Amino acid sequence: MSRHIHWYPGHMSKAKRVIQENIKLVDLIIEVRDARVPRSSTNPEFVALCKNKQRLILLNKKDLADPIMTQRWVDFFKSQDLWVEAVNCLDMNDVNQLRKSIIQFAEEKRKLIYQQKGIHKTTRAMVVGIPNVGKSTVINGLAKSAKAKVGDKPGITRGKQWIRVHPYVEFLDTPGLLWPRAEDQTAMLHLAYIGSISDDVIDMVEVAVKFIDTLRDLYPQAIQNRYGIENIEGMDGYSVLEAICLSQKWIRTGGNPDVDRGARQLLGDYRAGRLGALTLEAP
């Protein structure tokens, strides 16, 4: 990119502190990732923060991801001896299945501790993840009530809140924690595509052009199917964006393509799944 994406506001430092302060209180770390970008939607610091704790990697928004690629990611994580589940946290069947898995883990742990110490211990789980991957929606689904605040803007979750989801299971919702550095610009772009980096701090047109280039390599039919633009292989990304604007009648006064609107619409269509179920990363 001509301008690197940098985004590490103060509340990210606070989020890391909240996780560090509370890690000793929990038995299970549930790391929520976006199934469309499983590599980019993790924070490299999570592994260090979560060492010596049982970890569950949750590939959320699987309904927006390519199912074949999601299965490849699940197989990959299992090959690393990691506990992984792919879910659509808006689908109660998925949420109930996830709830069963977590309660089973908690019950086994509770029985073991009861045998050793004669006490019934509540399993406490911490839900972590970068902004906008659906942490609060996961908790709300598991708790079957909207106790965790849900926002569609990165970084809306604030502070610390424990939420009981079962007599012996409690969740700690934590603020989103993004990368502290942005050396990996491909990852930063992928996070911009899915909305984990605020649109206010990126050049939407530049990001949309990069997104078109990415789609051309992975899913060239997606743009044709949605907007009726054919033969994009020979066009540069900006020309494709202009063609999309013209086809959709997004025109500025004077007849020029409204590329700002086109960029917002294109990325909005991707985030909502209107371009199809598309995964941008392979394991």
CA distance 28 to 57: 11
Percent share of the chain, pLDDT over 70: 86
How far is it between the farthest Cα atoms of the chain? 78
**What is the predicted pLDDT for the residue at 46?**
79
Q: How confident is the model at residue 162 (pLDDT cuts 50, 70, 90)?
A: confident
* Six-digit token string for 48: 């260090």
Name the fold adopted by 10-173: Rossmann fold (3.40.50)
* pLDDT tens digits, 81-118: 999 999 999 999 999 999 999 999 999 999 998 899 99
What is the domain partition of the chain in residue ranges? 10-173, 203-271
pLDDT of 1 > 50? The answer is no
pLDDT of 156 > 50? The answer is no
Check: CB of residue 42 under 8 Å from CB of residue 17. no
In sequence order, which residues have a C-beta less than 8 Å from that of residue 28 and are 6 or more positions away? 53, 54, 55, 56, 102, 105, 106, 123, 124, 125, 126
Q: How confident is the model at residue 7 (pLDDT cuts 50, 70, 90)?
A: low
Check: CB of residue 163 under 8 Å from CB of residue 147. yes
Q: Does domain 203-271 have CATH number 3.30.565.40?
A: no
Mean pLDDT of the chain: 86
